[in-house]
Chains A and B, each alone.
Chain A
């Protein structure tokens, strides 16, 4: 029986002139006790759908047509008072960013128990008791203490637990989770998703799980709705959707995942172009301009949802009929990389920050690795592991506290200022948020020319030619030079960021989360481009990311960091498929696989919180959370092995023969 049904729901967001038609006749159904996954890229309308249900549309937002039937009652026809009760008692919502979704000056307990106080008139003392109880239920450590804490005293994962507790304290019948784990690390993501699963069964709730991550959907949802440009384009049971998707957009999304690249040298399928502008009138299939199978009929006629199977609807004139080969990529052959020279060699790198009276933050603690010419070294780890600090040290943005950075045989620390500056031409950075990294009042022309001017490369005419060539290399038209950063989309900005880092013809690019802010289809475009340029220019990359599947696709070798230490390094396929460190294995297991058949085992999950880097555990820093820890782990394990090294007293497996040269 359906708990929530959306009938022809249309929502507009008013602009100064006209409106964005964010939702266009959306039909959806959520049944009691099931998890409906809503997946789509930014601008697809997935968040607007749930905000319409919750009545939390942004200023200017308005439901213009349709019905929202909750348990048979139309929410849109309800009096405001009654609507608030339904929202506050029968529904609960969990938001994307736990860091900002709690009131910073209100104690956790007061916030969590507020719905009870308001809607059920529960006394202060009882509310507190109920808050402690529900906090314990969502796995909050020491709930009787946390209840009196303020949000800033909690980590991101704990704050998200508090938000979930707040949604659950009213025992809602519907829980809406809008990208609940996007801002969290994978191991925390796993804990939160498992929690939502468990609670759904316990509270017999329906759950709407909104996400851009097909992996999250595959492992958690019973049914999936795929949205594109304000419309539902396909709905099916999760298994059916992943085994036999019908809509060409669904298919393209799956192909664009790094996991689906065929072989190590394979290019990712990338969806060309950008989603349509929803403030303009649109006819026909909205995906048509980007579709491989488009015909004139797609552009001319409105494509309705049709039934493929009992529980499978899609809106496509040329649906997928062939069987989809969607299998996670097996171990590829490692790329031949033995012959090339070492470009960068980092030895015993240390970086500490002063933290006042509390001591020093040990951000990087004795990290050594090498990067060969033309090679990509991926660095993975969760937030706070020091991977970005390593990147900044290598790029010369910060001075190391200790250790050596040897570039092309020269120890950078020994050079004088001038020589060091020249050396830094060889190493350039590429950022996660290119927009924030560009001066918004400079045109692209100026942004790309500036590094050339600072390093006094060529005369103005030569610089002009160089800049034009750069744009061409990253696949942007020359007229982009005259425009400002805000006129570009996220993917285009990453291209410009890449062009800027290429301007000085560096040999090494340190890319810090270069695709983390991009949608899957755009991510594929940028990853392909980075690979093409590597082949063409013989570049080396240090590719820093929290996303193992992206690093697995991009990197020749992978280094895994935990709390300032390198715990494992080796050929990418070995590290990902034959991990030797328990932390690496936990990280791999925590990544949700876009393969519904692949159930995550709960045995390897790590629990608890990352220790503080001010007073890190002695010996192996992972031992406080490691399932295998013994007394000997209090002594520091050396990084040892052949090409596939691990710093662990009890490696999970011996170095495989495949890793040896």
Chain B
């Protein structure tokens, strides 16, 4: 198992380095450049040249990249002149808030999606299946900004029960002190995820219900509820684990829109603002973080899988 983990971590490292390389190259070929963004429209060419020289932006790209990696190894993600703080600091301030949003919406989505998927599988090709299917397709097809706007109009204006804006607290504690403000962003983000998860749960449960071991379970005279909950559900939920690992980073793109919409000072909003201002160090830092999250998400899913599926457990310990 330890060997398996080490191999996987090694692979993960390679992928993360590749992602930084690609991001680095792309950012540096974008028009505009950091200097203009920081020094303003009035800056002279000499000032820009001096700035670029100070920052090392006039050196060859590979040299810049090498320097970047060198700093990265020391834990230095760079410095944002526009925010006037280090990238690491900017991220650590905002990351917990985005994580609260992602985890809350994922938990909500899972809690809703699993029963929906199970109902669909058990009543497959009957009206409950068709109804849920239609609704989840609708949810899946609705752009997230539109959904968020509708939420605000419905629950903050027409029927004002919830605040239209996310909590603006600076620390995590302050944010959590205002749970009502988190409801709309969390629900908005969860709706899309429910649609994805419930489809997976449905198809996986349908497959499992057709398995021979379900027939064996029925032959013991078990009630249908026990057949489904006691036998099929555990096997049917395996794909959801993979999905959780794969989907957690993808939530970030949803967070980008939702945070902007509800003005929630998390990673999404940070990325959005930095992109507008061409704040390259921040953009690089955030991209790096997302790639690490993606790779780790997949790894955690695999390890989790091994923990719940005895068949995988055996293979993992063998290799």
Contact = CB atoms under 8 A, between A and B. Distances in A.
Interface in B231-245: 231, 234-235
B216 A115 contact: no
A36 interface: no
Contacts of B215: 56, 95, 101
A356 B231 contact: no
Contacts of B223: 84
A89 interface: yes
B28 interface: no
B310 A152 contact: yes
Contact of B314 (A88, A97, A152): A152
Contacts of B234: 105
A118 B220 contact: yes
A150 B235 CA distance: 14
Contact of A103 (B217, B314, B318): B217
B212 A100 contact: yes
A114 B217 CA distance: 9
Chain A interface size range? 35 or more
A102 interface: yes
A87 B219 contact: yes
A55 B218 CA distance: 9
A317 B121 CA distance: 49
A339 interface: no
Contact of A56 (B218, B311, B314): B218
Interface string B291-312: 0000000000000000011110
Nearest to B232: A103
Nearest to B220: A115
Given A118-B226, A152-B311, A105 B235 contact: yes
Contact of A93 (B219, B231, B318): B219
Contact of A88 (B221, B235, B310, B319): B221
Contacts of B216: 93, 95, 101-103, 111, 163, 166
Given A118-B226, A152-B314, A153-B314, A102 B319 contact: no
Of listed B212, B217, B220, B310, residue having the most chain A CB within 10 A:
B220
A152 B223 CA distance: 26
A119 B311 contact: no
Interface in B213-272: 213, 215-223, 226, 231, 234-235
Q: Interface majority SS on B: helix, strand, loop or mixed?
A: helix
Contacts of A335: none
A481 interface: no
Contact of A166 (B218, B220, B226, B308): B220
Given A105-B309, A152-B310, A118 B221 contact: yes
Contacts of A54: 219
Contacts of A103: 213, 216-217, 231, 235
B219 to A, nearest CB: 4
A100 B310 contact: no
Interface string A617-661: 000000000000000000000000000000000000000000000
A100 B221 contact: no
Interface in A114-165: 114-115, 118-119, 150, 152-153, 163
B221 A89 contact: yes
A79 interface: no
B235 A100 contact: no
Size category, B interface: 20 to 34
A119 B223 CA distance: 10
A106 B233 CA distance: 12
B58 interface: no
Contacts of A414: none
A104 interface: yes
A441 interface: no
Given A101-B213, A104-B311, A106-B231, A114 B318 contact: no
A385 B222 CA distance: 40
Interface in A17-59: 54-56
Contact of B220 (A88, A97, A100, A104): A88
B63 interface: no
B119 to A, nearest CB: 17
A111 B211 CA distance: 15
B307 to A, nearest CB: 12
Contacts of A105: 234-235, 308-311
B1 to A, nearest CB: 12
Contacts of A89: 221
A357 B318 contact: yes
Nearest to B308: A105
Contact of A84 (B222, B231, B309): B222
Nearest to A90: B221
Interface string A409-444: 000000000000000000000000000000000000
Given A97-B212, A100-B212, A163-B216, A114 B222 contact: yes
Given A104-B311, A356-B318, A356-B319, A95 B221 contact: no
A104 B310 contact: yes
A598 interface: no
Interface string A246-264: 0000000000000000000
Nearest to A85: B221
Contacts of A356: 318-319
Contact of A86 (B213, B221, B235): B221
A119 B221 contact: yes
Interface centre among A93, A97, A104, A356 (most CB of B within 10 A): A104
A479 interface: no
A150 B222 CA distance: 21
A104 B235 contact: yes
Contacts of B314: 152-153
Nearest to A115: B220
A517 B219 CA distance: 26
Nearest to A92: B219
A251 B287 CA distance: 76
A150 B310 contact: yes
Interface in B152-184: none
Q: What 6 A-B pairs are tightest by C-beta distance, nearest first?
A: A88-B221, A84-B221, A87-B221, A100-B212, A150-B310, A103-B213
6 contacts: A56-B215, A84-B221, A114-B222, A115-B220, A118-B222, A153-B314
Interface of A: 54-56, 83-89, 91-93, 95, 97, 100-106, 111, 114-115, 118-119, 150, 152-153, 163, 166-167, 356-358
Given A83-B221, A101-B216, A115-B220, 14 more contacts: A56-B215, A87-B219, A88-B221, A89-B221, A91-B219, A95-B219, A97-B212, A101-B212, A101-B215, A103-B217, A104-B309, A104-B310, A356-B318, A357-B319
